[in-house]
Amino acid sequence: MGSQAAASAATKQAAEVPHVLAHSPKDNVAVVVVEGLKAGTKAFGVITENDTTFTIDVKDDIPIGHKVALVDLKTGDTVIKYGQDVGKMIGDGPKGRHVHIHNHKTKRW
């Protein structure tokens, strides 16, 4: 394989590696699965339940394991992950923004 073909194959493979994963089409957040996701990235995402893909324009630097809002979330909104209620927003989380303990918490406490 020539260097140009190898570069093209590497670019295609990198484009297919997801930045974020959602578990269900019902989810309104997705989990960052790469180190160093930076603001300004057009993140590639996969919904694992049905293997569909999407993109999201990331507005904040988001650490691996943290969530990104897939829709505009307002204070009091229910956060859906795994297709289930996993808590409520205690601050706004516009689409593409970081969702974590600064604006999301469980409803149990």
Dump pLDDT digits (tens) for 76-100.
999 999 999 999 999 999 999 999 9
Query: What is the pTM assigned to this prediction?
Result: 0.85
Average pLDDT of the chain, as a whole number: 90
The domain 19-105 is placed in CATH, from the list 3.30.70.20, 1.20.58.2030, 2.60.40.10, 2.30.130.110, at 2.30.130.110
Give the residue extent of every domain in the chain. 19-105
**pLDDT (tens digit, 9 = 90+) per residue, 51-63?**
999 999 999 999 9
CB under 8 A, 24+ apart: contacts of 58-62: 58/19, 58/96, 59/94, 59/95, 59/96, 59/97, 60/96, 60/97, 60/98, 61/36, 61/37, 61/98, 62/32, 62/37, 62/98
